[in-house]
Structure 1
Amino acid sequence: MNSGRPYLKNCPINHLLWPFRNLPENYVVLDMETTGLFDESGAPGIVTIGIVEVSNGKAVKESEYAVRPHRQMTNEASQINGIGDQQAQSFPTFTSQWPDIRANLSDHLVVIHNAVFDWPILIEHVMRYGVNEPSILGVFCSQRAAQPWAQAMGLKCSDRGPSLDTLTEATGVHNFRSELDGIHSASKDAKQTAEVVEALRRFQQSEEESHCLS
């Protein structure tokens, strides 16, 4: 946590972060880069999948899978993730990598910063390719969970909640995205989400401790 933000340690509105208190010590963070957004043709294609395993507040395993999408990459998406359509078509197929992806997700709570976008796309691909769903413990959206706190803090929020960049700046954690000159990487964004989630958990715990001592 950035020492330049000491006011966040015992901020009285940190009780709004109570959903983070109930997170297990071990979970996985999922992030994906896609060919674009949902449109009249349905779900976008997956281009990369990043999975970070977190244990006792630390990222202990980081995996990224480059996936050949079933749809053409939009120019907007290519500018965001830095991957061209020709390059994406050279990636391995979703089905060839799914056993390993599924194993990394199974038996865990899956944390996603924008779960309302990413998770339906993953399930659409599971159905599209006729593979078995991962046996997970649930899906936790860190964006939605942080929304009441972020709004009380006066942070910029969309209708889904604060962006990962907004929470990165507010919590003062290391900005992995800055290492890539703003390009989005699924594994880096998953690691960024893990850092933000653990910072918010610490803020909530500090609020609980201050009440116990008062």
Structure 2
Amino acid sequence: MRQIVLDTETTGLDPLQGDRVIEIAAVELVNLLPTGASFHRLVDPERDIPAEATRVHGFTNGDLAGKPKFAEVAADMLDFLGDAPIVAHNAPFDFGFLDAELLRCGRSKLDRSRMIDSLVLAKQRYPGMPNSLDALCRRLGVDNSMRSSHNAVLDCTLLAQVYLELMGGKQPGFELAAALAGRGPALATIEAVAWTPRPITVPQDRDAAHAAFVAGKIKDALWLKPPFAVPGVE
């Protein structure tokens, strides 16, 4: 199961008032765990960055001078996103900004059916409690000590860990065997590894001693009766 964790940084809070995207980051999850594949771009917003926005994410006009415009990174971003569900914290904010940027360069909006809002998930699990990313990291034991300011790459990394916990800390190993056997979703990043069975052999004297012990101490051992009994095995 492929999903994308996404975060953006912007010049402000409202794309309808001319605020623009300045940073896009995304990490790939397969069965809820990061694969190591990621996407990151800094973007020239084609406008000034207000001081109050700089105080939030740390980016200045000089940091983004000469960076590509959104229209120049849109194709790469969409290729990375593919058709996977997209996880974001307060997802309507990120979707709203990306939709505005995509429309501005003549592309279609993101399909809202792909949106997974981790903030909504957190509110359902912890109603009435603080559910910011920092609050969730503290509550769920995710180390966010390096988060001194908003940063899309770091926020994606932290959110991926938080999202795993919000989904119950599900371990993907149970799905791996089914996937490799063709009974589950194909995982293109996982290859079957050849292995050689190494049965444990029991010395004859130990086997005979065990059989004598069972015969003398255990009456009607179940594993010696059908359907459990295997010919030649005690």
> TM-score of the superposition, structure 1-length normalised?
0.72
- Alpha-carbon shift at residue 137 of structure 1 (Å): 5.8
Regions of 4+ moved over 3 Å? 132-137
- Alpha-carbon shift at residue 203 of structure 1 (Å): 5.3
| Aligned residue among 56, 64, 87 for 1:88 | 64
Match of 1:29 in 2: 5
Unaligned ranges ≥5, structure 1: 1-24, 157-161, 206-214
- Alpha-carbon shift at residue 70 of structure 1 (Å): 3.0
Match of 2:53 in 1: 77
Paired letter, 2:159: T
> Are 1:187 and 2:153 matched, yes or no?
yes
Distance in 2, Cα, partners of 1:128 & 1:34 = 15
| Aligned residue among 48, 52, 76 for 1:100 | 76
> Are 1:45 and 2:9 matched, yes or no?
no
Match of 1:113 in 2: 89
- Alpha-carbon shift at residue 133 of structure 1 (Å): 4.4
Q: Percent identity?
A: 29
- Alpha-carbon shift at residue 122 of structure 1 (Å): 0.4
Paired letter, 2:134: D
Change (3 A) 1:188 1:195: same
Distance in 1, Cα, partners of 2:169 & 2:50 = 39
Match of 2:138 in 1: 169
- Alpha-carbon shift at residue 89 of structure 1 (Å): 3.1
1:149-164 equivalences under 5 Å are 149-151=125-127, 155-156=129-130, 162-164=131-133
Distance in 2, Cα, partners of 1:169 & 1:121 = 28
Paired letter, 2:64: A
Distance in 2, Cα, partners of 1:137 & 1:102 = 16
What root-mean-square deviation, in Å, do the aligned CA atoms of Structure 1 and Structure 2 show?
2.2
> TM-score of the superposition, structure 2-length normalised?
0.66
Any conservation in 2 of the 1:107–1:135 contact (CA below 8 Å)?
Answer: no
Any conservation in 1 of the 2:164–2:170 contact (CA below 8 Å)?
Answer: no
Change (3 A) 1:109 1:172: same
Match of 2:216 in 1: none
> Are 1:68 and 2:34 matched, yes or no?
no
Going by fraction, where is helix more abundant, 1 or 2?
A: 1
Match of 1:126 in 2: 102
Structure scoring higher RCO (CA < 8 A, sep ≥ 6) equals: 1
Distance in 2, Cα, partners of 1:27 & 1:190 = 12
Greater shift, 131-140 or 106-115, is seen at 131-140
Secondary structure, in 3 states, of the residue corresponding to 1:155? coil
